[in-house]
Amino acid sequence: MKLRNKIKSRDEKRSPVTVVFAAVLVMFAVSSLLLLLLAMLLYKMELSESAVKIGIVVIYVISGLIGGFLMGKMMKEQKFLWGLAAGIIYFCVLLLVSALVQGGIDLELTKLLTTLILCGASGMAGGMVS
């Protein structure tokens, strides 16, 4: 009887790799939808460059909060660390995609660090809220 309980409790736990993959996938889906909305607003309302930059930052934060929240709900332990991990992985994938699209990395260290902090902190906050 005890062996069944141990096997059942082990099977109920989710693999961190699949949980991180699912959370980051959701983060990118949310980012894509919000970026599409921002592009439509830019087209219809002729937004200024500063408004677009603010919109992009807001999209990073919303995506990080959602991803961190999902990580916290799925992992159930050390939620803030899992949320932070989701935010940092999201940033790394953004950086990789940006480097591939632009043919290199924009080496403005302040922008990179600011984006890393935004993604990580919002993911951690989402994990804490979950």
Whether 34 is covered by a domain: the verdict is yes
Whether 7 is covered by a domain: the verdict is no
Six token digits for residue 91: 């940033």
In contact, 130 and 76? CB cutoff 8 Å: no
In contact, 123 and 84? CB cutoff 8 Å: yes
Whether 91 is covered by a domain: the verdict is yes
> Quick check: helix, strand or coil at residue 13?
coil
Residue numbers of the domain that contains 38: 22-129
Q: What is the Cα–Cα distance from 128 to 75, expressed in whole angstroms?
A: 12
Q: What is the Cα–Cα distance from 104 to 90, expressed in whole angstroms?
A: 18
Whether 63 is covered by a domain: the verdict is yes
Residues in the chain: 130
Whether 123 is covered by a domain: the verdict is yes
Rounded to 10 deg, the angle between the 79-102 and 16-45 helix axes is 60
Say how many domains are in the chain: 1
Per-position pLDDT tens, the chain of length 130: 565 555 545 545 678 889 889 999 999 999 999 999 999 999 999 889 899 999 999 999 999 999 999 999 999 889 989 999 999 999 999 999 988 998 877 778 898 999 999 999 999 999 999 8
Q: What is the pLDDT of residues 6-23, one digit of tens each?
A: 554 554 567 888 988 999
| pTM for this entry | 0.83
DSSP-derived secondary structure letter, 78: S
CB-CB neighbours of 126 under 10 Å? 31
